[in-house]
Structure 1
Amino acid sequence: MKNWKKIGLGSVTLASAALLAACGSSSSSTQKVPQLAIPVDISTLDSTLNTDTYSNIFIGNTEEGATRVAANGQAANALATSVTESSDGLTWTIKLRSGLKWSNGDALTAKDFVYAWQRAVNPATGSQYAYLLGNIKNANQIMGLKTATQADLDTLGVKANSDTELTVTLTQPTPYFKFLLAESVYYPLNQKFVEKEGKNYGTSSAKTLYDGPFIYKGSGWTGTNESFQLVKNPNYYDKANVKSNEVDIQVVKNANTAVQLYKQGKLDQVALGTPDLYNANKGYTKNTSLVDLKESTTDYIEYNQTGKGTSNTTAAKALQNQDIREALNLATDRTSIIAQTTAGSSNATGFVPSGMAQTQTGEDFAKYAAQPYKYDVSEAKTLWEKGLKEIGETKVNLSYETDADSTGAKAQADFLQTSLAKALPGLTITEKIVPFQQRLKDSANHQFDMVNSLWGGDYAEPSTFLQLFASGSGYNDGGFTNAAYQAAWTKASTLPDVSNDAARNADYKAAEQALYDSSSINPIYFRTTPALQSNNLHNLIFHGTGLEYDLKSVYVN
């Protein structure tokens, strides 16, 4: 999920407000209502078109799919009563709960899943996350068309057998398919309502239908307002386990303001995403716990290896040279970058971040597949000089592109501009600080030399990261070709025995090694954000992948 996976604006904060509720004619009680604060505006409520983390929080708490990721990180049944796969891993049968309803009272059936998935892969829809449906039979063929007819869409490997059962046919075994079913692009849609609203669907809460724990109160989100309320959905099948009757939402864009509100007792959680915020507030203990939000996000640098789109011809030659890329990796002081730009993160030892996935033995995959990325100026200088001779140059000017929207990103650019030039004689780094959306556009179009990127997992399995650089992927912004990587990825993703996790993890590890051996990318850090959390806050479920905050069971006492 490219846009929201490459966002770096930090985690949400939570607040609580006291509402007085009358109890009889002469008494009252106080009920705490959790208040959620996000640092940026919502962009859409369309589960097919959404591209950012913060919109996804509200989509994922007002809508739901066949499965939902539980507090233990496993994909649990949600709208489905069972999700089963065939022995070859190619056919999945999903049985839905009976009596499911949309928020307008319409029946929710298996046909709503078929329509939603066809809408996602239809090129006319323009879903950036339709690639998550790529393993469904004929999905890639349909997405590759300039236009698709209903006849084309009908070939997609999903069929409604009845109102409460659908069958999905895959092109290859996908052991993490239950996790994919929990992704918003897999959510069902009410065809009649969506087609009635047309392009306006999802542009406000009134132009969206819901099947999840919450719906919007009153006018809700109008598309521009920065405060609104969620209330328990009376048509939700599991409403008895929704712990809060209301959750109030507001946009708080200033991190320092959020910290002050927390200290005033008006917030239940606040992120300390920068070193200054963390150092100034980590000792605050009044009814407070300091928690670490492990985001399953990797910060990394991509090198444009296409030979085109760079700032100059020398840069193009330099970045296609493996010795020069390895020199840049070796000259990267990850520890100092973390100390100066983030709070709580750790040095990257690969592309797949720590704490996201486990091997068949229960070991953290990032530890199992760790590569020896290190800081070694002496070795870097040797390789740099060797690389310069190979390309026939004595000096190189490289641009470094990053987000203008993030203080940490600018600080990282400043550090690298100085430190890399000092370590590698003849190197000049020119900063290119652009808006977040411009950086995404430049990355996708290979219009950069070096670009700072972030990617976070959609589900708790290494493929959510490692598929980025596979052949045909639209997310290989550096445009590199790595034969060893492709061979390892192909083995992992086409393994005949779907239950052979040991073999799959070994192939994933080989893919990590191939990225390291060729210096295809430069992983910087695995992001963790520390936060102050009120001891009165309970059952706020944070996921490093997919739906970041699950509000279904949160409450404040």
Structure 2
Amino acid sequence: MKTWKKVGLGTMTLASVAILAACGGASSKSDAGRAPQLAIPTDISTLDSTMATDTYSNIFIGNTEEGATRVASDGKAEPALAKSVEESSDGLTYTITLRSGLKWSNGDPLTAKDFVYSWQRAVDPKQASQYAYLLANIKGANDIMNGKADKSTLGIEKVSDTVFKVTLTQPTPYFKFLLAQSVYFPLNQSFVEKYGKDYGTSSSKTLYSGPFVFKDKGWTGTNESFKLVKNDHYYDKKNVKSSEIDYQVIKKPETAVQLFKQGKLDQAALGTPDLYNANKGYTKNAKLVNLKEATTDYIQYNQTGSGTSNPAAAKALKNKNIRTALNLAIDRATIVAQTTAGSKPATGLTPAGMAQTSDGKDFATYAAQPYTYDVKKAKEYWTKGLSEIGETKLNLSYETDADSTTAKQMADFLQTSLQKALPGLTITEKIVPFQQRIKDSHNHQFDIVNSLWGGDYAEPSTFLQLFTADSGNNDGGVSNATYEAAMKKATTLPDVTNDEARDADYKAAEKALYDESSINPVFFRTTPALRNPNMVGLAFHGTGLSYDLKDVYIK
């Protein structure tokens, strides 16, 4: 997901938008003590922790709000708002004790009831949170989400102002990591209900529990520059390194690179081959870093039978042979070489370097599937599929982000290569803003859509549960019985507590997705970037909160 539903455009550029006192490189003496100047490549969509699904909104939610735990720089889930998180011997009950004296940014006490309210709000079907499924292992959650029980029956109980208990339906080895996800963050009920549907639509209509708050006018919902400052009521304020962090939306990566060279950038992504090849040797007050994002770029096919104005497309994409032909006709190695810098062709849904098996192997290697490029076989499946649906030609729309250079280049490549490989196929490009692509995906308003997902925690289920029947992120309407059975085994007793058995189940799930051509993984993303060496403490996580700003500062 990342908590983020990691449907991001690419690793964000960290950009200085202030004119420094002296000319020269990014690490000149004028840097000392100034506010880090950062940027994202697209607009914030919401600050509502229950409703956010994209990487960029969650960067701000994860740095202005907080949960019971927070993922530390070493990748471990450590107590945050919680003083302690105690697990019962059977793994079914968690007792969470909050720190004493916690406060919201407006001075209100932050107590256990704020967690109860937030979690009940998240699973309420009227709220329609796409991240509600992350709470599915809490007792009663599935019945509530399916409209069969009241939200008050959720397995979370306030014991006192500082203690609450959580009852699970089955052991969940990664539950402490889930507590660090935004959908698990507490919410102040009176504040949320004051603004209703407008909650989270601007910084003034949001309440904060984390290291930072927005300064002055903050984020209005449309502006593209804003500042974060320390939250005076944050329990660990003394350990927040920067008193201010300035942000701006910078949509063109080429512009970011030039600003970096002018000494006005702290980090500039080199996400395309042209940018990388032209700037990888730049050493003036710069260092080259490779950001391994635990993110997979994949293609979804609309298998719902609806959501498109093209009846032939709706029928075609439900056909396994058509999907298999499309998968076989995609040249992943060339896509990576021509449109990315540092990424690798995908061998499955779960990206390389994110999770390990019980015996220490990279799970992506262990579970790799033979996603290959074979035009001859593709034509065979294509011909058979067209015959089965009674068509001789087919027009399919391909939707992707207008905000991403890589996405647009990939669309052009696929349009040309697929039409050449598959006789009778016409690909119509639909290039839309990032937020529109997200909306169309969730509403199943597409034929084929290019998607990205980054892990929320370092365990394969953060990817492999995306396409279960009850997932809010199964945009293509995947229906795969073998995959469902494998995921059910992996997430229920006895396998859920047996690491080796769970690994095997996850591998079976990857194989089932491959066998049915349910999705089409394209590449595992790594983004090289130029970084100001005087910017220190910026924690980058491949899973969960991509950028943790608590420790960043300019030395």
TM > 0.5 fold call: yes
1:525: which partner in 2?
523
1:514: which partner in 2?
512
2:464: which partner in 1?
466
Write out aligned runs for 1:81-100 (5 A).
Answer: 81-100=83-102
Question: Deviation of residue 70 (structure 1)?
Answer: 0.9
1:125: which partner in 2?
127
* C-alpha distance in structure 2 between counterparts of 1:54 and 1:473, whole Å: 21
Structure 1 residue 77 corresponds to structure 2 residue 79: yes
RMSD, aligned CA: 2.6
Assess if the C-alpha contact under 8 Å between 1:358 and 1:365 holds in 2: yes
1:24: which partner in 2?
none
CA deviations on 1:218-237 (whole Å, 9 max, x unpaired) are 44334443333222223222
Question: Deviation of residue 312 (structure 1)?
Answer: 4.2
Assess if the C-alpha contact under 8 Å between 1:318 and 1:324 holds in 2: yes
1:60: which partner in 2?
62
Q: What's the secondary structure of 1:119's corresponding residue? A: helix
Assess if the C-alpha contact under 8 Å between 1:17 and 1:32 holds in 2: no
Q: What's the secondary structure of 1:13's corresponding residue? A: coil
Structure 1 residue 303 corresponds to structure 2 residue 301: yes
Assess if the C-alpha contact under 8 Å between 1:485 and 1:515 holds in 2: yes
What is the number of residues matched between the two proteins? 546
Q: What's the secondary structure of 1:234's corresponding residue? A: coil
Assess if the C-alpha contact under 8 Å between 1:16 and 1:556 holds in 2: no
Q: What's the secondary structure of 2:397's corresponding residue? A: strand
1:105: which partner in 2?
107
Q: Identify the match of residue 542 of structure 2 among 535, 541, 544.
A: 544
Name whichever of 449-458 and 65-74 sits farther off: 449-458
Assess if the C-alpha contact under 8 Å between 2:131 and 2:472 holds in 1: no
* C-alpha distance in structure 2 between counterparts of 1:410 and 1:307, whole Å: 27
* C-alpha distance in structure 2 between counterparts of 1:212 and 1:19, whole Å: 29
CA deviations on 1:413-441 (whole Å, 9 max, x unpaired) are 22112112222233332323334344334
Structure 2 runs not aligned, ≥5 long: 22-29
Q: Identify the match of residue 155 of structure 2 among 144, 150, 157.
A: 157
* C-alpha distance in structure 2 between counterparts of 1:510 and 1:520, whole Å: 14
Assess if the C-alpha contact under 8 Å between 2:83 and 2:99 holds in 1: yes
Q: TM-score, normalised by structure 2?
A: 0.91
* C-alpha distance in structure 2 between counterparts of 1:66 and 1:382, whole Å: 54
Q: Identify the match of residue 34 of structure 1 among 36, 45, 50.
A: 36
Assess if the C-alpha contact under 8 Å between 2:395 and 2:425 holds in 1: yes
Structure 1 runs not aligned, ≥5 long: 21-27
Structure 1 residues 45, 473: CA separation in 2 closer, same or farther (over 3 Å shift)?
Answer: closer
Assess if the C-alpha contact under 8 Å between 1:311 and 1:448 holds in 2: no
Structure 1 residues 193, 308: CA separation in 2 closer, same or farther (over 3 Å shift)?
Answer: closer
2:24: which partner in 1?
none
Q: Identify the match of residue 270 of structure 1 among 268, 271, 274.
A: 268
Structure 1 residue 399 corresponds to structure 2 residue 397: yes
Name whichever of 528-537 and 375-384 sits farther off: 375-384
Question: Deviation of residue 395 (structure 1)?
Answer: 3.3
* C-alpha distance in structure 2 between counterparts of 1:498 and 1:479, whole Å: 26
* C-alpha distance in structure 2 between counterparts of 1:308 and 1:229, whole Å: 43
Q: TM-score, normalised by structure 1?
A: 0.91
2:380: which partner in 1?
382
Q: What's the secondary structure of 2:33's corresponding residue? A: strand
Assess if the C-alpha contact under 8 Å between 1:18 and 1:30 holds in 2: no
Structure 1 residue 7 corresponds to structure 2 residue 8: yes
Assess if the C-alpha contact under 8 Å between 2:32 and 2:554 holds in 1: no
Structure 1 residues 195, 349: CA separation in 2 closer, same or farther (over 3 Å shift)?
Answer: same
* C-alpha distance in structure 2 between counterparts of 1:506 and 1:275, whole Å: 37
Assess if the C-alpha contact under 8 Å between 1:311 and 1:399 holds in 2: no
Q: What's the secondary structure of 1:454's corresponding residue? A: strand
Structure 1 residues 530, 107: CA separation in 2 closer, same or farther (over 3 Å shift)?
Answer: same
What is the one-letter code of the residue matched to 1:555?
Answer: Y
Q: What's the secondary structure of 2:379's corresponding residue? A: helix
* C-alpha distance in structure 2 between counterparts of 1:248 and 1:191, whole Å: 30
> Identity rate of aligned residues, in percent?
73
* C-alpha distance in structure 1 between counterparts of 2:229 and 2:311, whole Å: 57
Question: Deviation of residue 213 (structure 1)?
Answer: 1.4
More contact order relative to length (CA 8 Å, sep ≥ 6): 2
